[in-house]
Amino acid sequence: MHLKQLFVSFALVAFTPGPALAGGPLRLTPADLGVGPKKLAPLSVLRHKAKLRRLKKGDPRRAALLYELAQHRQAGGGAIEAERLYRELLNEPGDEKKIYLDTVHFNLALLSMGQQPKVARSLLAELIRQRPRSRYIPFTFLLFGEHYLRQGEHKTASRLFEKAATFDESPAGRYARYLQGWCAQKRGDHRGALELYFSCLRPSTKSFAALPRGAQKRLLAATRAGMVEAFAEVGSAQKARPFFVRAAGRQAAVRMLEQLAAVYDHRNLAARAAQVRKEARVLQGVP
């Protein structure tokens, strides 16, 4: 499917959280990835409103006030009021609003997802066409990819996640690579999934460093869980310890070996389970 066609036929839908393959991939929202709206202190809200009442339309100071109030309303769940404020900002004369345009278009798309998917689609496609250097572009590809993932179109979803993953300095990049691995695993390409998960566990990438700490922990846990599931399909118990140590380090490898043993137990593979539990004890220095 041509990339342009991807903007024509979809409705944006949220995912059910859960790192296990059967329950769906880990769900990180734009806010989890560090691009969510920011709340104001209660006193600041009152001050902003008072200033807006005093300033006439066209005053260059109005842009920042409208933007910050819209962010506050969106963060607090006030979608209707946030959308009104964002659109009022777009209608302001002057150039002061230009620095907010990327964020406004992206957040208007997020606010429109549930009730007005066509509006969301139009805003996101416009953002890609007109602002190709915007920091929100990788998140836009993520949103499109998540839709196709939910629809079971894993190949198309993987292409979009691959596109998002090319943005090396964006916090969306590492998350997109994890979703690529999940797609590969769902398609039965467990070796390909292992390679993608392995690349996700590299700690030195700019994309990972850009993630908020909470998202880093959740993404690492989900990636390790996916790696364990994929390894159970194509790996051998004897090779599990060196592979997990190389991928995730000694401390994390212990937990991954325990998870692998649980998978083997569930499949009635008692000898393999005993083998990897023994390897876990070796890592812990326990006889």
Q: Which residue has the tokens 């009635």?
A: 268
Average the pLDDT over 125-131 and give the result: 88
Question: Ramachandran region of residue 202, left (φ > 0), alpha (ψ -120 to 50) or beta?
Answer: beta
Only one residue has tokens 């659109």, namely: 87
**pLDDT per position as a tens digit, 32-85:** 988 889 999 999 999 999 999 999 988 999 999 999 999 999 999 999 999 999
pLDDT greater at residue 124 or residue 278: 278
Query: Does residue 152 surpass a pLDDT of 70?
Result: yes
CA nearest neighbour of 67 among 51, 54, 43? 51
- Distance between CA atoms of 72 and 77, rounded to whole angstroms? 9
Q: Where are the domains of the chain?
A: 36-134
Burial (CB < 10 A; 0-12, 13-18, 19+), residue 214, is: exposed
Architecture of the CATH domain 36-134: Alpha Horseshoe (1.25)
Residue 170 has pLDDT above 50, yes or no: yes
Classify 240 as helix, strand or coil.
Answer: helix
Q: Which of 24-28, 52-56, 110-114 has the highest mean pLDDT?
A: 52-56
